[in-house]
Amino acid sequence: MSENPLLQPFKTPHGTVPFDQVKNEYYLPALKEAMTMGRKEIDAIVNNPAAPTFENTIVALERAGEMVSRVSSVMFNLNSAETSPDLQKIVREASPLLTEYGNDITLNEKLFKRVKTVYDQRNQLKLDGEDRMLLEKSYKSFARNGANLKEADKEKFRAINKELSQASLQFGENVLNETNEYVLEITDEKDLAGLPEFAREAARATAKQKGKTGWVFTLQAPSYQPFMTYADSRELRKKLFVAYNSRGFHSDKNDNQQLIGKMVQLRYDRANLLGYKTHADFILEESMAGSPEKVKQFLSELAGYAKPVAQKQLAELTRYAKENGFKDERLERWDFGYYSEKLKKEKYALDDEILKPYFKLENVIEGVFTVANKLYGLTFKERKDIPVYNPEVKTYEVFDQDGTFLAVFYGDYFPRAGKRSGAWMNDIQGQKIEKGVNVRPHVVNVCNFTRPTETKPSLLTFNEVTTLFHEFGHGLHGMLANGKYESLSGTSVYRDFVELPSQVMENWCYDPEALKLFAKHYQTGEVIPNDMIEKIRASQNFMAGMSNLTQLRYGLVDMYWHGNAPHGETVEQVESKVDSLVNLFPKVPGTAFSPAFSHIFAGGYSAGYYSYKWSEVLDADAFEFFKEKGLSSREVAGKFRKNVLEKGGTEKPMELYKKFRGREPSPQAMLRRSGLTL
């Protein structure tokens, strides 16, 4: 163990993970040793002869198991961003061990008794707000994880958690396998008609990488999206669409249908065991929304606004398609992106081919750094000597306006076979104050953007630009964290509040002043012209009704899976019920999105996908405050930093929002911005 780098002090800049020294064979031994240490720390709390106090029980519990958190954080981060069959096998073995470790803590009767003793005295204790929140969260953590159950039910609870952790891992692996295994190989150049040069060049590079001739398209977003948007071949668009939307739905080794049924049933059984009606009731108790009924009402009301707008937009798009040679009665899903892009170009003289030259990745990164500097006074300095888990990863030191070190930031931007699809932010090290020292966070943004080619740098689509700003907003929530306790710090907030910092950052992608900071032609250095900025702003709500319906469809399916008692319904039956409310397209046989819906079955958004729309209400309302005072207003940015970004989960979200805004949020700002009024 003395040679295992995961268990030693990290002798690296800012104590960053020595990825260059970490090998797969180190994880399990390190984790087992860390759990032994963690159990000893728990035993010390339980066997303390002194009466339970906030310090010797609640704070001691918060500090216990720090080595377990360190090892598991490194392992799970890599399993998402740089996995391999070996690492997946290790994680499958480690996951039930970690589940058991967590269960051993929350189901420890003597430990819970000490926690409850302190909790019952809470009104007599002289605690500040952050201490009170930690006490409340600690008590609820036990209660919501089976501490009040009878012994026989505790064993059922353990078994359910163990099965769920394994099923969730398997679900994610199956989606990754399906994504990696499919290729659309094109050898006849006529089949590339309509595709811009950037898409063709990327497909040539992919073919070369895979040892094939011609052009290869994959189910990775930078390959899939341009094909669906530009390819003239309707037949091939359909082929790729069906491949993408049937991942995990083939009744083969990567099938996720039975896993969904199993996970939904297990989550429901666990909620019942804890005294909740459904999994959604259990999850939403700890949310701003508060209940499934409130979420369903919220989504239904939004659908009421979005559906008529979407119907009008789809009718307009159908007319346009027919005027331009479309022969069928109605558009199919694989037609939507293609014809909407053509209509958008006709309406606004704008498309990704025109915009991409202005969005060189390095410039966009510099741009988001500059926006963070203007708002919060932050500066970013690249470091070449911080170890990384892949040569493509960039690392930066982050400093406050007074030169104080704030964080380490990792940027990982390109798709790889070992990286799951999508984009996300993680902490590799969380923020806390320990022994008077403010331990600063190490934050990673992981994305899957368009790669450089042999002739061009990485040029982003506008959607990729907004994604980068979105994930950076999450990053700021982590980097600016300033609390006493890691479990309340940074993004450790209610799920329907966590998207506020990320979504509010997207607004600067449409701001002329911000765009001119980074949108510069990669060849000429020309700043993006004013008329192009106006077109971007004018097209912001293009097909907003349709895109809102898509998001609502995901949210409603999530609530259907988790807000009802399971009745053994198939994936197709569940999706059909939701589609009757919010889907304007015909059913496509052999496709379903639930079997690849990693957010809710392999991530942390079960009964929480609605939070993207919920947070839109918050972010649109928050951004109107910036607009009132000026988009670079240090006054408003300072309030947002102080009351949202720094506070994490130290107070209830609505209280934090009201301290920032001076009132509760109004949904009208979101409806105005999204154009959800006829």
Active site residues: 471
| Angstrom distance (rounded) from CA 586 to CA 331 | 9
| Angstrom distance (rounded) from CA 550 to CA 309 | 13
Strand 405-412 relative to strand 442-446, pairing:
parallel
| Angstrom distance (rounded) from CA 347 to CA 356 | 19
CB-CB contact of 420 with 80 (8 Å):
yes
Q: Which DSSP helix (H) or strand (E) runs through 186? A: strand 184-186
Q: Which DSSP helix (H) or strand (E) runs through 411? A: strand 405-412
Residues sharing a CB contact under 8 Å with residue 573, sequence separation 6 or more, in sequence order: none
Strand 405-412 relative to strand 394-399, pairing:
antiparallel
**Number of Cβ atoms within 10 Å of the Cβ of 573:** 11
Tell me the backbone φ, ψ of residue 136, rounded to 5 degrees.
Answer: -65, -45
Q: Is residue 187 classed exposed, middle or buried when 0-12, 13-18 and 19+ CB atoms within 10 A define those classes?
A: exposed
CB-CB contact of 418 with 84 (8 Å):
yes
DSSP code for 54: I
State how far the alpha carbon of 138 is from the alpha carbons of 16, 129, 533, in Å.
28, 14, 49
Strand 432-434 relative to strand 437-439, pairing:
antiparallel
Q: Is residue 662 classed exposed, middle or buried when 0-12, 13-18 and 19+ CB atoms within 10 A define those classes?
A: exposed
β partners of residue 395 = 383, 410
What is the residue type of 158? R
> Can you state the percent helix, strand and coil of the chain, rounding each to 5?
60, 5, 35
| Angstrom distance (rounded) from CA 672 to CA 252 | 46
Beta strands in 477-607 (DSSP E): none
Across the beta sheet with 394-399, the strand order is 379-383, 394-399, 405-412, 442-446, 424-429
Q: Which DSSP helix (H) or strand (E) runs through 273? A: helix 257-273
Residue whose token pair is 């290729």: 183
* C-alpha gyration radius of the chain: 25
What is the residue type of 248? G
